[in-house]
Amino acid sequence: MSDVKNSEILFIYGAKLCNPNGDPDEENKPRMDPRTNINLVSDLRLKRYFRDYIIKKFGEKYVWVTTVEGKNVTSDERGEKLREQLTDDKTVKLSKEKGKRGDTDWVTTVPKLCIDARMFGATIAIRAKGKEKGASANFTGPVQFSWGYSLHPVEIVESSTITSIFVGREAREEEERYGTMGRDWRVYYSLIAFYGIVSGMRALDTRLTETDAKILDNALWDALKLGATTRSKIGQEPHLYLRVEYKDKETLIGDLRYYIDGEWEKQVRGIADIKLGYSRFLEKLKELENRIEKVYIMESGEISWIEKKKLTEALEETEELKGIVVKLPHEGDFLNEQNLIISD
């Protein structure tokens, strides 16, 4: 049984002269609320950074939502590859659970081998083949993020047209060939905040562990920093990761972004043009002091706070929180292949 309790996460990062999350229905423009000019980023984009980070370090076999040998595949094909892994991997025993989650043992074993399924959940559908029965399962992940949004209005850089000398389409006549053209959309600067939760109750379904939660603490910061290195994504930097861990599986404050205040210049071009405030957030934590187990935090030195003191320092000096504030990253080698799977 999982001993994971409820947690809430606040993750803030900056994006300068890049495209944090393009909208394919709008020429890949940065996702925006047109009425407020608030920049939006989907939770899938954030989860992709985490998955790609694990893949780069350890390969595809520990991630369910991934390519197979670099190719996009169906759920069936991903499942076949996983079955091969399970056949060879004697450290992972097949689950005996059957019924509504499928008639094939390996399907219910996916969260044990794939850390993204254990965290974010997974939908698995394998079609019947010959005499073999199909299988299906749906796991709701205990770790979920809402869509991220900028803490201030954001301006989009006027797009320039980009061209390629390589052929994009070809006419009947061999000599009539054309290069491709597109638009290069970026934001000047966006300070983006995500709110996430770790559900202690849902952790029971996927067998999420405390070690998994610590892997998330340590990895998400680096996943963004190292993953946002493509032409359209370079320019993103993490500034604050905070996880409030409770003593039970019932306590939740709600969206932590609500308790963060902000001031900014008329034209925001970098993090120096923004000040954040944490006074209301600190007061909320003090109200719940008897329910809080730990407060984990990693903070860059670039955030300007209205209170003129780093949030880490303020937390450590708060009497009600003495002894429960933990600076990240966690000590020890949590992110290793042994911890990426659950062995019976």
Q: What's the pLDDT score for residue 168?
A: 53
Residues 101-129 have pLDDT tens digits of: 344 566 778 899 999 999 999 988 777 76
Mean pLDDT of 167-172: 50
Q: Look at residue 67 and tell me if it is in a domain.
A: no
Return the percentage of the chain with pLDDT > 90, whole number.
70
Q: Look at residue 106 and tell me if it is in a domain.
A: no
Q: Look at residue 327 and tell me if it is in a domain.
A: yes
Residue at 112: amino acid letter = K
Q: What's the pLDDT score for residue 178?
A: 47
Least confident segment among 69-83, 160-174, 215-229 = 160-174
User: Do the beta carbons of residue 318 and residue 286 sit within 8 Å?
Assistant: yes
Of 266 and 169, more confident: 266
Look up tokens 């369910």; give the residue.
64
Mean pLDDT of 321-339: 94
CA dist 156 and 90 (Å) reads 52
Q: Look at residue 121 and tell me if it is in a domain.
A: no
Which residue from 313, 308, 285, 284 is spatially nearest to 297, judged by alpha carbons?
313
Q: Look at residue 176 and tell me if it is in a domain.
A: no
Q: Look at residue 205 and tell me if it is in a domain.
A: yes
pLDDT band at 344 (very low <50, low <70, confident <90, very high): low
Look up tokens 């060939």; give the residue.
177
Least confident segment among 211-220, 258-267, 332-341 = 332-341
Q: What is the dihedral of CA 288, 293, 298, 301, to 10 degrees?
A: 40
CB neighbour burial string for 109-146, b if at least 16 within 10 angstroms, e if fewer: bbbbbbbbbbbbbbebebeeeeeeeebbbebebbbbbe
* Three-state DSSP class for residue 176: coil
The single-letter DSSP state of residue 200 is H
State both tokens at 90: 């004697």
pLDDT band at 185 (very low <50, low <70, confident <90, very high): very high
Helix axes 210-227, 43-58, angle to 10 degrees: 90
Q: What's the pLDDT score for residue 2?
A: 75
State both tokens at 23: 């909208």
User: Do the beta carbons of residue 304 and residue 275 sit within 8 Å?
Assistant: yes
Mean pLDDT across the chain, nearest whole number?
88
Which residue from 66, 42, 41 is spatially nearest to 52, judged by alpha carbons?
66
Residues 59-77 have pLDDT tens digits of: 888 999 998 888 898 887 8
Q: What's the pLDDT score for residue 80?
A: 79
Of 161 and 66, more confident: 66
Q: What's the pLDDT score for residue 298?
A: 98
DSSP string, 257-315: GGG-EEEE-SS--SGGGEEEE-HHHHHHHHHTGGGEEEEEEEE-S-PEETTSS-HHHHH
CA dist 272 and 31 (Å) reads 23
Phi and psi, residue 21, nearest 5°: -165, 100
Residue at 204: amino acid letter = L
- If one counts the domains in the chain, the total is 1
Mean pLDDT of 197-201: 98
Residues 6-55 have pLDDT tens digits of: 999 999 999 999 999 999 999 999 999 999 999 999 999 999 999 999 99
CA dist 156 and 17 (Å) reads 9
Q: Which domain holds residue 19?
A: 7-58+140-154+186-340
The pTM is what? 0.90
